[in-house]
Amino acid sequence: MITTQKLTGDLADDGWKGASDDCNMENLKNSESCDPSSFLRHFRKSSATPVMLLRHIAQAMATEMQEGLDHPGERKLKMLPTYLECLPTGNERGLFYAIDLGGTNFRVLRVQLDGKEGRILKQESIQVPIPQEVMTGSSKDLFGFLAKTIVQFVSREADLGFECVALNQKRDIGFTFSFPVNQTKVNGGSINAWTKGFSISDGVNDTVGTLAQCRYWNDDAMVGVILGTGSNACYVERAAAISCWSSPPEADDLTVVNIEWGNFCSELLPRTFADEGLDADSLNPGQQEFEKMIGGMYLGEILRRVLLKMAEDTGLFGSEIPERLTKPFSLLTPHMSTMHGDDTSSLEVVGSVIEEAIGVKYTTLATRKVVYDVCDIIAERGARLSAAGIVGILTKINRCGDLMLSCLTTPNDTEVKKTVIAIDGSLYEKYPKFRNYMEDAMKEMLGEDYANNVTTTLSKDGSGVGAALLAAAISTELRLGDVGVTK
């Protein structure tokens, strides 16, 4: 295993880090002025993610994953067991429900499944806002409200042409619960804390639902990734690897582990002054380092911090600092992706976003080009780090080819298996350059040939349909008296 110490040295020797002329990032911290292009050059250098660095980050992720499994709750990666003993196979039949309790809305869905021939015959959902008095009331009020909504929805199943289930017959329902839960079994756990007046999602079930939904269609789905407001991933693991599972199924059986990868941190991550400032001013300093370089909640804010520094140190927007640029979160990730998607030769779109979001009416083409380049650097770094995280998981489950430094499981397994990565979230879905950078970095890391065995695919609405499919899978397995993730 290569140590961090040595690695940093090696990489510095490659010349990707450690700028030494008049306008390096250290000097910039001390407000030494320079021109925009030197600033940009140094910012690009300190954000760089050459493929060797990405491979080392992937290896560090795989190592941390093993650490988290071996020492439950004591390492940076929580590696939360889901206690799932099966995933959807596509063979499920019948009527199944899911409820999705997120930040502000409550959703109830039903799907009618007809095995591999008919697949999802019919699906329907309703979404209701959670009334303010319920959000701040007792848990009895909340669950009473949820139950009432479910009963109303279920009572209309026959009217809408769904398979009719006798009213006294039990229905199977998947529950997506976006609060921190200490799960103790597949359908049980205790809530850690009622966070948020209802707003922080820990994404536990998003990522598992994303994987489950993809697995329903494709047996090769092994990894679920969320690239949205925050970032997280889960993967299919051997049940025997879950040391805190008191009565796991057979040793060879598989389950799903929620990595909570947002909290990954490493000396290897190419952090800049903007990341340090963002972290220090955040509600959770020192935590979620990886997520803060990738998540949709943060990319726009990193951009704002870089542009503000450039305005201060290089006069990017003229002699005055635009007032709005000093306000945290005045630039959002959709602003960034809109500017980054500008393909006009005069960068008109960049100009109008600068005007609308920052309030600077006139900009030169050179300024707009600098802003475009900063978007590009931040998005490229976030996308390539996401790719490194995914390759880290592939390393852990030995689906990374022989190009990585080492593999932690079944090193003698040389069979090339197809692997599908299920991804959900706006960064992947609605930010084409982010997605392309991520997919290109995976190819670079895995090598073009091996990368042909790895597919990334959008798996939308895992927290809804994915949960119903999980309910279907679990109920089917229970009926058959069988356990184990079917492969």
Q: Which CB atom, from 337 or from 475, has the smaller least distance to ligand ADP? A: 337
Closest separation in Å from C-beta 421 to ligand ADP: 16
Is the dihedral angle over the CA atoms 61, 62, 63, 66 positive or is it negative? positive
Contacting ligand ADP within 419-448 (CB under 6 A): 425-427, 430-431
CB atoms within 10 A of CB 339: 24
Q: Which CB atom, from 207 or from 367, has the smaller least distance to ligand ADP? A: 207
What distance in Å separates the CA atoms of residue 206 and residue 281, rounded to the nearest whole number? Answer: 27
What distance in Å separates the CA atoms of residue 152 and residue 149, rounded to the nearest whole number? Answer: 5
Buried b or exposed e, range 152-189, using 16+ CB within 10 angstroms: ebbeebeeeebeeeeeeeebbbbebbbbbbebeeeeeb
- Residue 464 lies near ligand ADP (rule: CB under 6 A): no
Is the dihedral angle over the CA atoms 28, 34, 38, 40 positive or is it negative? positive
- Residue 229 lies near ligand ADP (rule: CB under 6 A): yes
Q: In the numeric block, which tokens belong to residue 350?
A: 């960049």
Which of Mg ion, ligand ADP, none does 264 bind, CB closer than 5 to 8 A by kind? none
**Selected range binding ligand ADP among 113-121, 188-196, 234-242, 330-338, rule: CB under 6 A:** 330-338
Closest residue to ligand ADP, based on beta-carbon distance: 228
Closest separation in Å from C-beta 425 to Mg ion: 6
User: Among candidates 401, 344, 397, which has minimal Cα distance to 372?
Assistant: 344
Which of Mg ion, ligand ADP, none does 337 bind, CB closer than 5 to 8 A by kind? ligand ADP
Residues paired with residue 113 on neighbouring β-strands, in sequence order: 94, 120
- Residue 228 lies near ligand ADP (rule: CB under 6 A): yes
What distance in Å separates the CA atoms of residue 293 and residue 302, rounded to the nearest whole number? Answer: 8
What distance in Å separates the CA atoms of residue 405 and residue 59, rounded to the nearest whole number? Answer: 7
Q: In the numeric block, which tokens belong to residue 305?
A: 């911090």
Closest separation in Å from C-beta 469 to Mg ion: 16
- Residue 296 lies near Mg ion (rule: CB under 5 A): no
Position among 224, 228, 300, 351 found at the interface with Mg ion (CB under 5 A): 228
DSSP letter (8 states) at residue 276: H
- Residue 68 lies near ligand ADP (rule: CB under 6 A): no
What distance in Å separates the CA atoms of residue 165 and residue 364, rounded to the nearest whole number? Answer: 66
CA 386 to chain centre: 8
**Selected range binding ligand ADP among 4-12, 121-129, 333-341, 453-461, rule: CB under 6 A:** 333-341
Q: Cβ distance 88 to 116 under 8 Å? A: no
Which of ligand ADP, Mg ion, none does 427 bind, CB closer than 5 to 8 A by kind? ligand ADP
The contact mask relative to ligand ADP for 381-420 (x = CB under 6 A, - = no) is: ----------------------------------------
Position among 297, 350, 420, 423 found at the interface with ligand ADP (CB under 6 A): 297
Closest separation in Å from C-beta 468 to ligand ADP: 18
Closest separation in Å from C-beta 80 to Mg ion: 18
- Residue 337 lies near ligand ADP (rule: CB under 6 A): yes
Q: Cβ distance 196 to 222 under 8 Å? A: no
Residues of this chain that bind Mg ion (CB under 5 A):
228
Residues of this chain that bind ligand ADP (CB under 6 A):
228-229, 296-297, 332-334, 337, 425-427, 430-431
